[in-house]
Amino acid sequence: MNDRIIIIGAGAWGDALSKLTQINGCEPTIWSRSCGRVLSEMITDRVAIISAVSMSGVPAIIDRLHGAIEPNQIIVTATKGLDARTNLTPAQLWHQAFPNNPIVVLSGPNLSLEIQQGLPAATVVASHDVDAANTIQTIFSSPKFRVYTNDDPIGVELGGTIKNVIAIAAGTCDGLKLGDNAKSALLTRGLAEIIRIGQYWGGKPETFYGLSGLGDLLTTCNSPLSRNYQVGYGLAQGQTLSEVLANLKGTAEGVNTTKVLIQIADSNQIYMPITVLVDRLLQGQITAPEAIVALMSRDRKSE
Ligand X SMILES: O=P(O)(O)OC[C@H](O)CO
Q: Decide: is 226 part of the binding site for ligand X (CB under 6 A).
A: yes
Nearer to ligand NAD, 61 or 260 (CB): 61
Distance CA 268, CA 179 (A): 34
Q: Decide: is 251 part of the binding site for ligand NAD (CB under 6 A).
A: yes
Q: Which does 53 bind (CB under 5 to 8 A by kind): ligand X, ligand NAD, none?
A: ligand NAD
33 labeled binding residue:
yes
216 labeled binding residue:
yes
The residues in 15-74 that bind ligand NAD, with binding defined as CB under 6 A, are: 32-33, 52-57, 60-61
Q: Which does 78 bind (CB under 5 to 8 A by kind): ligand NAD, ligand X, none?
A: ligand NAD
Distance CA 170, CA 182 (A): 9
64 labeled binding residue:
no
Q: Decide: is 122 part of the binding site for ligand NAD (CB under 6 A).
A: no
Q: Decide: is 217 part of the binding site for ligand X (CB under 6 A).
A: no
Question: What residues pair up with 264 in beta bridges, in sequence order?
Answer: none
Check: CB of residue 116 under 8 Å from CB of residue 16.
Answer: yes
Question: What residues pair up with 126 in beta bridges, in sequence order?
Answer: 105, 150
Q: In the bound complex, what is the minimum distance in angstroms from residue 79's beta carbon to ligand X?
A: 10
112 labeled binding residue:
yes
CA-nearest of 31, 75, 27, 28 to 50 is 75
Distance CA 103, CA 159 (A): 17
Among 216, 236, 260, 272, binds ligand X (CB under 6 A): 216
Q: Decide: is 227 part of the binding site for ligand X (CB under 6 A).
A: yes
Q: Which span sits near ligand X by CB under 6 A: 51-59, 125-133, 147-155, 220-228?
A: 220-228
In the chain, DSSP finds a helix count (H) and a strand count (E) of: 14, 7
Catalytic residue among 163, 177, 183, 259: 163
At 225, the amino acid letter reads L
Nearer to ligand X, 42 or 218 (CB): 218
Check: CB of residue 147 under 8 Å from CB of residue 137.
Answer: yes
Is 163 assigned a catalytic role? yes
Q: Which span sits near ligand X by CB under 6 A: 40-48, 138-146, 222-230, 237-245?
A: 222-230
Q: CA dihedral in degrees (242, 170, 196, 92; nearest 10)?
A: 50
Q: Report which DSSP code applies to 11.
A: S
DSSP track, 189-255: HHHHHHHHHHHHTT--GGGGGSIIIIIHHHHHHH-TT-HHHHHHHHHHTT--HHHHHHT-SS--THH
Give the interface with ligand NAD as residue ranges (CB under 6 A).
Answer: 9-14, 32-33, 52-57, 60-61, 78-81, 110-112, 250-251, 253
Q: Which residues are annotated as a binding site for NADPH?
A: 13, 33, 80, 112, 227, 253
Give the interface with ligand X as residue ranges (CB under 6 A).
Answer: 80, 109-111, 164, 167, 216, 219-220, 226-228
Catalytic positions: 163
